[in-house]
Copies of this chain bind each other. A is one copy, B any other.
């Protein structure tokens, strides 16, 4: 099947075509060496991926726009269960739902994602739900590079809502917050030090705060602490705090209401467009950097190796070496 045909099938919502297109993205991250050298040389993406993205971004059928909702939080707070609850809530409205379970804990993939798949299997036969887990191997900016392109595929497949689930540790949740229209940070009561640490920077990324497992001890204390933190927010949007018991579906309506309120705020304030523009900038920049990086790799055998030898030999400093490397790009 050629790329245009594949994109056409994806636009019709065929799950296999959607899966194959996302695999194109994922494989490009995993195997930069396989990236076909385009006319510019050293291009990390395969030719097929380039063609697919061109068709998706500028093809005759203008892509559908999806609401992108990021879900993040420490391991164990119930992200997958919350994602499941939101899938059901949006399905009750008749929305087509995409889920991208992004695993930043590469190279430690496997177990956790299989777990997610199992937990989400009650949606496996619903043709209006696309669930995809994506791992990004250890390449610089892998997730920042791959996720916007995977979103493009899910949008083309007609998803109204795309839930992006990622572990809230490290670079990943910063990337997700930059990518999503609305970022939901999930906490659970009584998680100890981890949550205490997490709270410190939470307001940098959270649009909506969820305290899940609200049938456990300590939920009121956690809510109180969060309320104290958010009361200091002077930005036009103050993150609401929603309590849920995702495993029982409790709080789904409250969470949906908070998400809708944020969406309305985004539209009214013009922030929606600003976020989408920022996302487009990030997407372009990530692709450009990846291309430059693979051109560096192509220089390995000569310039970069020589420069590394000279750095080890104390003949050059790393900044001068970097200048030389950039100059060698020509």
Contacts and interface: CB of A to CB of B under 8 A. Distances in A.
Given A289-B293, A304-B281, A174 B321 contact: no
Given A138-B174, A174-B107, A312-B276, A284 B62 contact: no
A29 to B, nearest CB: 12
Tell me the number of copies of this protein. 2
A283 B318 contact: yes
A63 B112 contact: no
The range of chain A's interface size is: 35 or more
A247 interface: no
A269 interface: no
B325 A304 contact: no
A106 B45 CA distance: 29
Contact of A305 (B172, B277, B309): B277
B141 A140 contact: yes
Contacts of A174: 106-107, 138
Interface stretch (A14-22, A91-99, A191-199, A222-230): A191-199
A68 interface: no
Interface of A: 40, 45, 50, 53-54, 56-58, 62-63, 74-75, 104-112, 115, 138, 140-142, 144, 148-149, 167-172, 174-175, 193-194, 196-202, 204-205, 276-278, 280-281, 283-289, 291-293, 296, 300, 304-305, 307-309, 311-312, 314-323, 325-326
* List of 3 A-B pairs having minimum Cβ-Cβ separation, nearest first: A111-B197, A110-B200, A138-B174
